Amino acid sequence: MEETHEHLEARAAQLISAGSLFHGRGWMPATSGSLSARLDDHHMVITASGHHKGDLDQNDLMLVDLDGHVLSTGKQPAAETFLHIILYRRSADIGAVIHTHSVPAMVLSRVVVEAGLTLAGDDVLKALPGCTTHHDSVTLPIFPNDGNIPQLAAQVDDHMNRHPDTPGYLIEGHGLYTWGRDVTEARHHVEAFEFLLDCELQRRRFDP
């Protein structure tokens, strides 16, 4: 990237590393998924559209402001960019957002008929905000897979106005969004959710 911006290259390097890790685990097949990190009050760095997440380099990331303007010349934003932006606009405590497309997230978000999927009874819950023991639980809301991204973003925003402690959400038949104060914390949340979703999927095979 040509832009000079404090933290830009360091944040980009963290996102490249996370993309490689999560692609390797099958959570970002091919060009799916997206990763971003906040740079300051008005800017973020995010994966550009159409790049393989297992093989990202600095040129596959772009600088975008929180009004949605692309500041990296010649880069194409993914449609999902706005779903990242609305989270950064909500809270200065959100410093990174990661979107994965795993098999458990895909399958569970289609078969769960309720408006949310509650994950409970596992020690890994302690990696998530608001959970201190395996007796706690966390509910991921599930939103319809709406190709109209501003409409979908408005639903997410509305839900989070009512439930500000929501740590992530699922899009039906699509995948997971979660976030953290920085890339490291967002990575932990992805790993915890993906583990819990995998356990939940396997549990339902035995006890549908």
Binding-site positions read: 99, 101
Close Cβ partners of 66 (under 8 Å, ≥ 6 residues apart):
41, 42, 43, 44, 85, 88, 89
Backbone dihedral angles phi then psi of residue 172, each to the nearest 5 degrees? -55, 130
DSSP label at residue 59 = G
Among candidates 169, 163, 149, which has minimal Cα distance to 108?
Answer: 169
Pairing of strands 175-180, 43-47: unpaired
Binding site for Zn(2+), by residue number, is 99, 101
Close Cβ partners of 29 (under 8 Å, ≥ 6 residues apart):
23, 101
Q: How many Å apart are CA 190 and CA 151, to the nearest integer?
A: 24
b/e per residue 103-113 (b: at least 16 CB within 10 A): ebbbebbeebe
Q: What is the DSSP annotation of 97-148?
A: EEEE--HHHHHHHHH--SSEEEEES-GGGGGSTT--STT-EEEEEEE---S-
